[in-house]
Structure 1
């Protein structure tokens, strides 16, 4: 008798609901709110159960986007979307964000065959979309292991959401924290001086 394989946790949820659940959990852990930035990488092929880059689907991307936007609007953080390697993993974002951060603009319009379905759909839903070369985001979600680490600020803290799959795609995530500088005498929380030896 062939072995039975269990469906991934969350398989009973719609793609929109599963995506919203994962993003909400990451937003809570990473304290995402106004002024913070979430970078999203997604392979709609992997979500649909085929190898990355072989079966992109706009309708899948629309469902993922709906879940992401739901949480972003509730909590007030910005979202940017990573294109595929054909557009050098540039990022779709609102022009207002690019200009406020003084990022370098690059020229292209993402389409499913060059940029990816997720980036193409995000571009179509934005008020004034533009592509940026890179960014340092406060957190990231990677649906289908597309590799988003190049766009996260230091120091990235891996985060394991309760749902490890959206559709058939494995989900990874991370949020960031400021680097801890100093050595054994460094203090990382405000407190009263306790008479310890001071630096010159």
Structure 2
């Protein structure tokens, strides 16, 4: 089952990468409930193995393209995020002091903390795209205009997968012209 979950996570990440038109240095937020993946209520059956499998699969896809991954912690850490110090410094996010654990932060964020070269926690970000695996509510960490992205891979294990990209705000009214024509 872990290999199937890993493949689903990798496929969903690859689909989002293509659909969101992300560029090197962009930031993506991922929220993940290992409980939902294993067909349990969110926060009730955290699995270190599932968190590790999903994070490593997703991280490999985005890291290969130079895209920073931010792993959203669970509600027990107020949905703080774990990311590389380099990304936090690049975007001006101030680190806070916390280390995610299985029952406070979750298995996905804990895996990120172990895998990142120099992990830090921050309280909030404004990401260019995001993926929500298992109803973790990542919307607060996306830029202002989020556009839904339909993925063919809309489940990882038993968890629903919802994705989004962002775009600049359209301003100026009916006479304005816009650069972003991806919609």
Q: Structure 1 regions of 5+ residues with no counterpart?
A: 1-10, 191-200
Instruction: Indicate the RMSD between aligned Cα atoms, in angstroms.
Output: 1.5
Q: Distance in 2 between matches of 1:96 and 1:78?
A: 9
Q: Distance in 1 between matches of 2:64 and 2:114?
A: 21
Whether the aligned pair in 2 keeps the contact of 1:104 and 1:134 (CA below 8 Å) is no
For the pair shown, which has the larger CA radius of gyration, 1 or 2? 1
Q: Structure 2 regions of 5+ residues with no counterpart?
A: none
The TM-score normalised by the length of structure 2 is 0.94
Q: Distance in 1 between matches of 2:161 and 2:45?
A: 18
Q: Distance in 2 between matches of 1:64 and 1:147?
A: 17
Q: Distance in 2 between matches of 1:78 and 1:96?
A: 9
Query: What's 1:98 paired with?
Result: 88
1:171 positional shift = 0.5
Query: What's 2:148 paired with?
Result: 158
Q: 1:175 aligns with which of 165, 168, 178?
A: 165
CA deviation profile, 1:139-166 (whole Å, cap 9, x unmatched): 0000001100000002100111102110
Q: Deviating runs (4+, > 3 A) in structure 1?
A: none
TM alignment of 1:30-179, pairs within 5 A: 30-179=20-169
1:91 positional shift = 0.4
1:189 positional shift = 3.8
Q: Identify if the C-alpha distance between structure 1 residues 96 and 55 changes in structure 2 by more than 3 Å, giving closer, same or farther.
A: same
Q: Distance in 1 between matches of 2:44 and 2:178?
A: 47
> Going by fraction, where is helix more abundant, 1 or 2?
2
Aligned residues: 179
1:187 positional shift = 1.3
Q: Distance in 2 between matches of 1:123 and 1:189?
A: 37
Q: Distance in 2 between matches of 1:86 and 1:189?
A: 40
Whether the aligned pair in 2 keeps the contact of 1:47 and 1:144 (CA below 8 Å) is yes
The answer on 1:187 being equivalent to 2:172 is no
The TM-score normalised by the length of structure 1 is 0.86
Q: Distance in 2 between matches of 1:41 and 1:69?
A: 13
